[in-house]
Structure 1
Amino acid sequence: MKKVKYRHSTSRILLLGVAFFLSFTVIGIAQDQADASAQQDAAEQGQEQAPSEGGESEDSGAATGLGDAASGKSLFNSLCAACHKPYSESIGPALNGVTSRHDMDWLYRWINNSGNLIASGDEEAVAIFEEYNETVMPPFPQLTETQINDILAYVEQPKPEPAAGQQAGGEAGASGGGQGVSMDIILGILAFVLLMLLAVLFLVNKTLRNFAEASGVVLPEKPKRKPIHKAFVENEFLLVVVAVFVLLTVAYFGYGYLMQVGVDQGYKPIQPIHFSHRIHAGDNEIECRYCHSSARTSKTSGIPSLNVCMNCHKSISEVAPETATEEFSKQFYDKEIAKLYAATGWEPGSRTYSGEAKPVKWIRLHNLPDFAYFNHSQHVSVQGTQCQTCHGPVQEMEVMYQNAPLTMGWCVNCHRETEVRMEGNQYYDKIHEELARKYGVEEVTAAQMGGIECGKCHY
């Protein structure tokens, strides 16, 4: 057998180098962590000592001459913190300095019942009421003068200054982490160490093989592995598991896809003439049924005739500048009004119709299947359902879109939860009494009146 020279010196040098490198790396990281921990301890110690060094603490209520600030803090957090902060304005004003702005007797009356104080015509109370959008503070008649003094003692404490430890920590963090080690450096070191370990393992394996050959040891040959596709085909259990997994996956995604067929929630087509519901129903507060008048008396809500638009737009040939947005400028809206004039044959100069009208090919937005029956008048006129219940916040929509999924499950769920409006409807006088007695309830839902029977919507 051929003798191979045993090159042990290179491997030893590499192993020693990696060992030294790892040692110094671990020592450096440990030193950085120790420094960071020492800085954090110093910051916490400084933060704990800051109140005593500044001459103020939460328990120094006696310094304000009011009450116990510690008890006041507990009361403030449970009763006042939702609307007030000691040093900054929230829903209500900042409370620090309130005793210098108002008399103590006035504060007692305001906190116990601000509504009565406003109703009495007190100038200070009325001024605060008007300043904060005519919002009345909830009354707290259960608070005694001692408890109010405790709250005032807490909020009247001077605003604490940042501790020296916090300032030092903040400066160290702002300057790039101080003596701390960033995560990028640590991850880079770990990646380099792993690569070195792989290289060392490769060299050790090669060295051991060379040593074995030099010593006359016969190394066994590596067995040839089967190709992965042959091993997969021969494993019947694995084939069954994979087949079941594939079938379940196909069934899951197939079912999900089929359940989306015909569901157009979020559908937002571009109409031939841009109509802004935000401007008409929102800013101008035009009632939905002024345009969709047939919703009150028929099955469908109907597409408004252009003559309905011209009732207003005979006199309105351009929009107000404040109605424009970043996406839709004033010039854009004015061009859309010009499209309306072209479709109706209106001549704004002579204020007459030319008689050359053109049809507008509106794109239908809400489209139920032919086998589903829905009556707008039954919901709008009989039940009093608001348009927003199904169509969403129409008054906020610049471009109209389908808000609800309009699926059968969505309709059935509404019928199960919605109570039928009985007042002033003679049709329900007798049936309401009978159903209320049957179900033992005062209010009857549409489902209890047969609103989820198949024949109600499919016949």
Structure 2
Amino acid sequence: MKKVGNHKSFLKIFFSLALSLSFSLSILAQDPAKGKEIFNANCAACHKLDAKATGPALRGVADKYDKEWLHKWIKNSPELIKSGDALAVKVFEENNKVPMTAFPQLSVEDIDNILAYTSEPKPEPPVASVPVGGQASSADAGGISNTVILGALALVLAMLIVMLFVVSNVLNKIASSNGIEIPKTKKKPIWKAFIENQFLVLVSAIILLLVSAYYMYGYMMQIGVDQGYEPVQPIHYSHKIHAGDNGIDCKYCHSSARTSKTSGIPSLNVCMNCHKNISEVAETTATADHSKEFYDGEIQKLYKAVGWDPAKQAYTGKTEPVKWVRIHNLPDFVYFNHAQHVTVAGVECQKCHGPVEEYEIMKQFAPLTMGWCIDCHRETNVKVEDNEYYKKIHEELSKKYGVDKLTAAQMGGLECGKCHY
């Protein structure tokens, strides 16, 4: 009997060890990195780890609720609520009765990986090392400072001047010791010599007039030309992040460019299509000029303007106008139609606005002068493939000019009435 009892106790210990080992292996098998991928693909639209969005913050959610219950909730929360589960009903009511999407396609392993990702501790923000005095010296930033270089050049120049005086004095002393007398000639003032030479006066006057006319013409031709204009906007908007890193199509925000004369300023509602759920940027977004805190602060400006309460996930009704600073501004006597260029002619936005996907701050890329437009019309072939708008006129003009492709100029793009009427 003793042996049987010993065997039973041994089996109990063995099974308990086996269960604990399998549980430990299941924990080790969880992959937070894989969980992050699944989270971003399925959950990130409504949830954040450390802030409330459409749904609650999810960091540490595995410690708040039973694991089996979480599996049922994630796979089909509406069914769990309908079953009368008290906890499910409570969570549903606490989150403004916003229904959660069911994810029956997620396996047990997928959900465990998501929970492993949400259970990771919050990373500490990186501390920037700043030298004593609050600013990095230019020598630390990349070599010798400009002050040192300028000081060295000034010292060399001063030494050269002193050496010239010394050499001049030495030569005068040598000449006097050898009995050489240096004659002192009476010099005529340069202005008097200049005035007495009438030919030189005439030539100088002509050159002065021509140079003045040249610079005056160049100055007058730059009036109203704002190439490179890069104003600071009330809310910082990075085209590099939106159009570059995230690949957002220009015409998603500037939708009227397809069908209207103007490209339009996107309404803040367009911004909120994404930023309703994006209240902060990723850590990797920060640059040397703009920190993560800076970008997050600009998103808060957007929320204030539209009256969005990220904590309650609701609009407050209190809005503020955003006074955007206009960058591109053609004269009133110039007609330009975005739809004609973007939709009909198939011109890329970058043709006129430059590589906007690389701009941190938007600026005027082209001079937008009449000469610049005419040069473009002379050089640019009109896109006629699968373009019914130009089909008939292309056939007629191709025969007239004896070419397969036509520039905008050959299709009447240099007529005054096209842009001035």
1:307-326 superposed matches below 5 A? 307-326=269-288
Equivalent of residue 189 in structure 2, options 206, 220, 227: 227
What count of residue pairs does the alignment treat as equivalent?
A: 262
TM-score by length of 1: 0.53
2:43 maps to none
- Residues 195 and 312 (structure 1), Cα distance of their counterparts in 2 relative to 1, 3 Å cut: same
Equivalent of residue 327 in structure 1, options 265, 289, 296: 289
Instruction: Report the Cα distance in structure 1 between the residues aligned to 2:239 and 2:171, rounded to whole angstroms.
Output: 72
Instruction: Report the Cα distance in structure 1 between the residues aligned to 2:301 and 2:172, rounded to whole angstroms.
Output: 78
Instruction: Report the Cα distance in structure 1 between the residues aligned to 2:203 and 2:177, rounded to whole angstroms.
Output: 41
Equivalent of residue 414 in structure 1, options 367, 376, 394: 376
Equivalent of residue 441 in structure 1, options 403, 412, 421: 403
Instruction: Report the Cα distance in structure 2 between the residues aligned to 1:352 and 1:410, rounded to whole angstroms.
Output: 48
The letter of the residue matching 1:244 is I
Cα deviation code 1:266-289 (max 9, x no counterpart): 111110000111111111111111
1:199 aligns with 2:161: no
Instruction: Report the Cα distance in structure 2 between the residues aligned to 1:193 and 1:342, rounded to whole angstroms.
Output: 69
Native 8 Å contact 2:335 2:420 kept in 1 = yes
Equivalent of residue 248 in structure 1, options 178, 203, 210: 210
- Residues 445 and 199 (structure 1), Cα distance of their counterparts in 2 relative to 1, 3 Å cut: same
The letter of the residue matching 1:292 is H
- Residues 421 and 195 (structure 1), Cα distance of their counterparts in 2 relative to 1, 3 Å cut: same
Instruction: Report the Cα distance in structure 2 between the residues aligned to 1:454 and 1:193, rounded to whole angstroms.
Output: 66
Native 8 Å contact 2:344 2:389 kept in 1 = no
1:283 aligns with 2:245: yes
Instruction: Report the Cα distance in structure 2 between the residues aligned to 1:454 and 1:361, rounded to whole angstroms.
Output: 35
Using the TM superposition, give the Cα deviation of residue 382 of structure 1 relative to its aligned residue in structure 2, in angstroms: 0.3
Cα deviation code 1:14-67 (max 9, x no counterpart): xxxxxxxxxxxxxxxxxxxxxxxxxxxxxxxxxxxxxxxxxxxxxxxxxxxxxx
Instruction: Report the Cα distance in structure 1 between the residues aligned to 2:331 and 2:316, rounded to whole angstroms.
Output: 40
Instruction: Report the Cα distance in structure 1 between the residues aligned to 2:168 and 2:186, rounded to whole angstroms.
Output: 28
RMSD: 2.5
Ranges in structure 2 where 5+ consecutive residues have no aligned partner: 1-158
Instruction: Report the Cα distance in structure 2 between the residues aligned to 1:455 and 1:349, rounded to whole angstroms.
Output: 56
The letter of the residue matching 1:353 is Y
- Residues 318 and 248 (structure 1), Cα distance of their counterparts in 2 relative to 1, 3 Å cut: same
Using the TM superposition, give the Cα deviation of residue 256 of structure 1 relative to its aligned residue in structure 2, in angstroms: 1.6
- Residues 272 and 207 (structure 1), Cα distance of their counterparts in 2 relative to 1, 3 Å cut: same
Cα deviation code 1:119-142 (max 9, x no counterpart): xxxxxxxxxxxxxxxxxxxxxxxx
Native 8 Å contact 2:279 2:299 kept in 1 = yes
1:429 maps to 391
Using the TM superposition, give the Cα deviation of residue 195 of structure 1 relative to its aligned residue in structure 2, in angstroms: 6.1
Instruction: Report the Cα distance in structure 2 between the residues aligned to 1:203 and 1:301, rounded to whole angstroms.
Output: 81
Cα deviation code 1:307-364 (max 9, x no counterpart): 1111111111111111111111110011000000100111111111111111000000
The letter of the residue matching 1:204 is A
**2:208 is paired with a residue of what secondary structure?**
helix
- Residues 193 and 412 (structure 1), Cα distance of their counterparts in 2 relative to 1, 3 Å cut: closer
Instruction: Report the Cα distance in structure 1 between the residues aligned to 2:163 and 2:407, rounded to whole angstroms.
Output: 69
The letter of the residue matching 1:434 is E
1:348 maps to 310
Native 8 Å contact 2:229 2:364 kept in 1 = yes
2:54 maps to none
1:58-69 superposed matches below 5 A? none
**1:377 is paired with a residue of what secondary structure?**
helix
The letter of the residue matching 2:193 is A
Instruction: Report the Cα distance in structure 1 between the residues aligned to 2:416 and 2:173, rounded to whole angstroms.
Output: 74
The letter of the residue matching 1:341 is Y
Equivalent of residue 382 in structure 1, options 331, 344, 349: 344
Instruction: Report the Cα distance in structure 2 between the residues aligned to 1:271 and 1:413, rounded to whole angstroms.
Output: 32
Native 8 Å contact 2:268 2:306 kept in 1 = yes
- Residues 310 and 237 (structure 1), Cα distance of their counterparts in 2 relative to 1, 3 Å cut: same
Instruction: Report the Cα distance in structure 2 between the residues aligned to 1:401 and 1:279, rounded to whole angstroms.
Output: 15
Native 8 Å contact 2:382 2:406 kept in 1 = yes
- Residues 197 and 355 (structure 1), Cα distance of their counterparts in 2 relative to 1, 3 Å cut: closer
Identity score, percent: 63
1:4-19 superposed matches below 5 A? none
Instruction: Report the Cα distance in structure 2 between the residues aligned to 1:398 and 1:258, rounded to whole angstroms.
Output: 31
1:267 maps to 229
1:373 aligns with 2:335: yes
Using the TM superposition, name which of 243-252 and 296-305 deviates more: 243-252
Instruction: Report the Cα distance in structure 2 between the residues aligned to 1:387 and 1:272, rounded to whole angstroms.
Output: 24
Using the TM superposition, give the Cα deviation of residue 265 of structure 1 relative to its aligned residue in structure 2, in angstroms: 1.1
Native 8 Å contact 2:353 2:366 kept in 1 = yes
Cα deviation code 1:195-225 (max 9, x no counterpart): 6587346643675467xxxxxxxx9x96744
Larger Rg over CA atoms: 1
Using the TM superposition, name which of 363-372 and 227-236 deviates more: 227-236
**1:412 is paired with a residue of what secondary structure?**
helix
Instruction: Report the Cα distance in structure 1 between the residues aligned to 2:173 and 2:212, rounded to whole angstroms.
Output: 45
- Residues 287 and 195 (structure 1), Cα distance of their counterparts in 2 relative to 1, 3 Å cut: same
Using the TM superposition, give the Cα deviation of residue 425 of structure 1 relative to its aligned residue in structure 2, in angstroms: 2.6
TM-score by length of 2: 0.58
2:324 maps to 362
Instruction: Report the Cα distance in structure 2 between the residues aligned to 1:325 and 1:194, rounded to whole angstroms.
Output: 54
Instruction: Report the Cα distance in structure 1 between the residues aligned to 2:352 and 2:258, rounded to whole angstroms.
Output: 15
1:120-159 superposed matches below 5 A? none
Equivalent of residue 359 in structure 2, options 392, 397, 409: 397
Instruction: Report the Cα distance in structure 2 between the residues aligned to 1:371 and 1:193, rounded to whole angstroms.
Output: 63
Cα deviation code 1:100-148 (max 9, x no counterpart): xxxxxxxxxxxxxxxxxxxxxxxxxxxxxxxxxxxxxxxxxxxxxxxxx
Using the TM superposition, give the Cα deviation of residue 450 of structure 1 relative to its aligned residue in structure 2, in angstroms: 0.8
Using the TM superposition, give the Cα deviation of residue 192 of structure 1 relative to its aligned residue in structure 2, in angstroms: 7.1
Ranges in structure 1 where 5+ consecutive residues have no aligned partner: 1-187, 211-218
Instruction: Report the Cα distance in structure 2 between the residues aligned to 1:287 and 1:407, rounded to whole angstroms.
Output: 27
Cα deviation code 1:393-443 (max 9, x no counterpart): 111111111111111111111111111111223332222111111111000
- Residues 193 and 306 (structure 1), Cα distance of their counterparts in 2 relative to 1, 3 Å cut: closer
Instruction: Report the Cα distance in structure 2 between the residues aligned to 1:336 and 1:444, rounded to whole angstroms.
Output: 47
- Residues 197 and 454 (structure 1), Cα distance of their counterparts in 2 relative to 1, 3 Å cut: same
